[in-house]
Structure 1
């Protein structure tokens, strides 16, 4: 399986509506707290937009709703992985991405036979409080040797200036959140990311 090198992560269908038409081909809908009816509506809208623009949608955490709404890709953190019913996810034909931050989590993730593995934070990140120190580029290389041929996603503190180093170290895809969503011009920044990742496709 090949992942697009530009992996956008957003917290609403409104962001997908705004940015995916610019040429985004891989996006994760990451909503942490929302009532189920609104969450279902967000997933439904996100899926329709991604179908319209030939973009792969990945639903974070909410695997039951992803199954019910006919989505085909979910991403789980380690805690969510413990609670998830992997057999049901696989039986629904859904692909699976998993987060890792250390060697033990990597072992756990590999045992689940995911379709990609994410490593982070590569650099310091403002997205959430992390108990892990920045992983650095050497860790990307180590992870790639351990997970290949499974695609490796790098996440945490990434920006266009850091992409060449991240891909040269072994990442297959670079995930971004705040560098785009907190930018003064998210559309322009999205175009810059697309341009910078073009040669790694």
Structure 2
């Protein structure tokens, strides 16, 4: 994965959109997203075979457009689908354990909010970190207080070299602020998944970032 792939990082599961996830993803790709994470979690999320089926469907779309396909916090599914990568949180499986199970080519992203967490992710060999929430967000039921773009500046000043993706409450009005603070990319859910026109939403975001 190139750092450029992280620029506009779209995250979605079936319960994040009122449209069909496949159609939303197709439109988001047309609008210019550079990476996709399948995050099937929370109230009303699919499980088991249904989750796998949707994962395969969305992965196929990503493959057709050469967009990296990342699975959120499900190592078994990531291995089963031969996904491009997996993203885990602080309470999920440690990077060291994932590396033992997954092909060496698999990208591993870790959610890291503090300097300690970021340094640990770096030490264990993560490929990038997601940090946030940047701004107030309503998508995650357990979202913490926002750290703002200064959270990224602090990580950079403290010597964190890993690619950073900002997450949480990002939209077209504040996305550039995250990049200017030192992040390689922005990741978002509802700004695209709940937009009336996902293609236009992605395109407007991309234009702000480039």
TM normalised by structure 1 equals 0.87
Which one has the bigger helix percentage?
1
1:76 deviation in Å? 0.6
Q: CA RMSD in A?
A: 2.2
Consecutive unaligned residues in structure 1, runs of 5 or more: none
User: How far has the Cα of 1:96 moved from its partner?
Assistant: 0.2
TM (norm. structure 2) is 0.84
Mapping of 1:114-125 within 5 angstroms? 114-125=126-137
The alpha-carbon distance between structure 1 residues 23 and 139, as it changes in their structure 2 partners (threshold 3 A), is closer
Alignment partner, residue 20 of structure 1: 29
Can you list the C-alpha shifts for 1:89-109, whole angstroms capped at 9, x where unaligned? 444531100001234433432
- Which residue of structure 1 aligns with residue 87 of structure 2? 75
Pair 147,90 (structure 1): closer, same or farther in 2 beyond 3 Å: farther
May I ask how many residue pairs the two structures share in their alignment? 198
Which secondary structure state, in structure 2, belongs to the residue aligned with residue 118 of structure 1? strand
DSSP-derived class of the 2:169 partner: coil
Query: In structure 2, how many angstroms separate the alpha carbons of the residues matched to 1:147 and 1:45?
Result: 39
Paired residues for 1:1-201 under 5 Å: 1-4=2-5, 5-12=7-14, 13-14=21-22, 15-32=24-41, 33-82=45-94, 85-130=97-142, 132-146=144-158, 148-197=160-209, 199=210
Give the Cα–Cα distance (whole angstroms) in 1 for the partners of residues 11 and 186 of structure 2.
10
Q: Which runs of 5+ in 2 are unaligned?
A: 15-20
Structure 1 runs of 4+ aligned residues shifted over 4 Å read: none
Structure 1 residue 84 displacement after superposition: 7.8
Larger relative contact order, structure 1 or 2 (CA cutoff 8 Å, min sep 6) = 2
SS of the residue corresponding to residue 117 of structure 1 reads strand
